[in-house]
A and B are shown apart, each in its own frame.
Chain A
């Protein structure tokens, strides 16, 4: 009983809910090889608390096959204007090639626009060429905001 978008035969994009935890844990495990239910219980609680519609899952034939978590925030890193952030995404390796990532991104970007965001940002590991090309295909460009890090 949620607002869903049927984007192609058998594929639905809908807002995240608390019953997606198990499926997201399984997708993460399939990608990373690590079983981390506690991490996702906490993380999904966070996104549901903040803005449940700003995170989505993709269903293929009624089973969750991908997820994209994000939200609109203001005031981060000196960015005063409302900015959409895509923070985590994952697609079941067995379901890749169905443009699930693109379909989820389109839904989430539409929601960010509705929330008044004029830009959307994310951080991508330079080693992850697949992620970089994915975001470039969506129109993302390198930003003037550069990440800095220091090991402690």
Chain B
């Protein structure tokens, strides 16, 4: 029992450190990639190639003046950023980063906890995340935050539905809601007609529509371009985080990046085989390699997120809502229908 508690605490420490560092350097990556897309350099002076820029930004956030408007609803104004931050990091409790290793004769999984309903846990945390934005917008007691907060909440609850539906195809194929089981189900290669396979058994090859619907809905959930009208600077000043400054704003900022990372992790786990990849070498390498493959795949998704931010214009709000309800929802339902037909036909 103590072994379990100790290993879990160590894992939590690792994951927290890892995700916080990734969030900080994701901001660096974003500025660099968008800069290069726009033919300029990006952060260049603070450290080699601007690598110490996130450190400078962190220090800046601590020392900025914390301006609080007079008429805010204090308890909720304080609650909202911390709720956003806490929920964004809570999702990492069920994400498997790799396989497992043996410590003193006992197996330690590279995952904080493997819930039987791990995927639904992620959806639960996402559903609760709507509150942080709605409350932030409302408690600021000002026009632009209220608009931004309400628009964002409406957008998030609409796309949550499409998100869940898009993923049901994967659940039907894997037969389980546990994230580890879904990845393990994707091991091996497709063997068409007895030939030696080269195509890994990833779910992307059997659920392309599901993947596209999932990723689109997830970008809308995380309020990123092209779905970021609720916080677009040219539209609503700052949207729901207009009246927040210094550390509270930093909380929202970090929560948004952490949500991006969660979405990328789930996309890798559900559709791209998670930690599966070429394995070779001594046993200690065999434990580290899956983590490396997982991080490489997540990095590709994050890069794609940033690439889209640098390239696409944003949707108008009514186009955004129409797209969520009139396109993504039927596509998700169609995907479920087709997947169930194929799964039943194969099992018959």
Question: Does A associate with B in a complex?
Answer: no
Chain B interface (Cβ < 8 Å from any Cβ of A) = none
